[in-house]
Amino acid sequence: MRAAVIKEWGKPLSIEDVPKPEPGPGEVLVRIHASGVCHTDIHQWKGDWSSVKYIMEKHGVRILGHEGIGVVEEVGLGVSRLRKGDRVGVPWMNSWCGACESCLSGYPHWCPHAVNTSVHVNGTHAEYAIIHEKAAPKIPKEIGDVEAAPLMCAGVTAYGAIRKLVTEARIPPGKPIAIIGAAGGLGHYAVQIAKAFGYVVLGVDVGEDRVKFVEKIGADYAIDAKSAEKFAKEKFGGVYASVVFTPKIAGYELGLMMLRPLGALVSVGLPDVKEGVIPLYPLTVVGMGIRVFGSVVGVTHEFEELFNLVVAGKVKSHITMIADLSEINTIFKELEEGKIVGRAVLKI
């Protein structure tokens, strides 16, 4: 099969023929038709995250990509939920144990035995990929391959974070919440999802163009970061939650400053570890009753809920680039240089 393969960390990927993977028990082989490019690909490719690099090396993983969409071509032993011809996604969560406390409490995202696409098993920037059947969401016919691809990581990560405002933070609809980094790849989904959930959405970003974009996608208030705290305090006495997508500690600082008492901080964006920690003083936690939640990607039922919103026209993908697999090095370079606004998808 044709695949984009890492030969050396951070060096151009090589498009070559490699052996097709074989589905093990419970797994399916998916013929990939579209594969979204995520900023995480860049970090993995350059070997920025040592623990991820270590696991990739240990498992001989050299193919990136965790936003794959395709059709089941072969099923492994014991597969019962999926069959040949089903159109499915291949997201970051490739498998989980199903029996540990995290899995049984509804959060396989934090299963210690989880298998991640492009980390423990080869990814989706290739003609074929494998996934455990329980982890592969079925794609509704109303959503095309290219449109579905970025939902696999960016879309579901935003969905999982907004969902926690209901399930964990218990914030009723109608309350004001802030999305920090609202114009970004994840933030623009979060604005639309939070609106669909019935929240009053303060979309925060930096610079005139990005703030205009936040307004266009439907935020109730599109605000520049420099005036966001004052606005939130004066208008609402602070927001009930700040969901932070910005990979900068400054975004976390702003998110905290915008909160009202008993507010929730939902952490999604990952600043470079060199930037330091979230400045959360015990005085703030105790005095304000602040709560903090982490949120990472999403799993099967969250995909189904997100797809319902997409099919209903409430959530749209902002795809700005569609390219052939052979153009992957150009896309990586442009993404690294911050030149791609919205999401890029490879057709395979």
Instruction: List residues binding Zn ion (CB under 5 A).
Output: 38, 40, 96-97, 100, 103, 111, 153
**Cβ neighbourhood burial of 278 (10 Å; 0-12, 13-18, 19+):** middle
Q: Select 100 or 341, whichever has its Cβ closest to Zn ion.
A: 100
For Zn ion, the closer of residues 153 and 264 by Cβ is 153
Quick check: 42 and 332 in contact, CB under 8 A?
A: yes
User: Is there a contact between 132 and 115 (Cβ–Cβ < 8 Å)?
Assistant: yes
Question: Which residue, 135 or 180, is less far from Zn ion as judged by CB?
Answer: 135
Task: Between 111 and 119, name the residue whose CB sits nearer to Zn ion.
Answer: 111
Q: How far apart are the first and last CA of the chain?
A: 11
Least distance from Zn ion to the Cβ atom of residue 224, Å = 27
Whichever of 3 and 153 has its CB closer to Zn ion, that residue is: 153
Report yes or no: 45 and 9 within 8 Å, Cβ to Cβ. Answer: yes
At its nearest, how many Å lie between Zn ion and the CB of residue 38? 3
Please report how close the Cβ of residue 40 comes to Zn ion at its closest, in angstroms. Answer: 4
Residue indicated by tokens 């995250």? 49
**Angle of CA points 23, 26, 32, to nearest 5°:** 45
| CA separation, residue 47 to residues 9, 50, 56, 153, 156 (Å) | 6, 6, 10, 20, 24
Name the nearest CA neighbour of 321 among 311, 309, 312, 330.
330
Query: Minimum distance between the CB of residue 275 and Zn ion, rounded to whole angstroms?
Result: 20
Asked if residues 267 and 292 have their Cβ atoms less than 8 Å apart, the reply is yes
Shortest reach from residue 103's CB to Zn ion, in Å: 3
For the bound state, the minimum distance from the C-beta of residue 100 to Zn ion, rounded and expressed in Å, comes to 3
Displacement of CA 52 from its chain's centroid (Å): 17
- Coil/strand/helix, residue 162: helix
Nearer to Zn ion, 24 or 237 (CB): 24
φ, ψ of residue 5 to 5 degrees: the values are -115, 135
Q: Alpha carbon of 26 to those of 73, 82, 108, 238: distances in Å?
A: 14, 10, 17, 48
**Closest CB to Zn ion among residues 95, 242:** 95
For residues 122 and 116, give the distance between their C-alpha atoms in angstroms, rounded to a whole number. Answer: 9
| Smallest distance, Zn ion to C-beta of residue 346, A | 14
Q: Least distance in Å: CB of 231 to Zn ion?
A: 31
Shorter beta-carbon distance to Zn ion: residue 3 or 114: 114
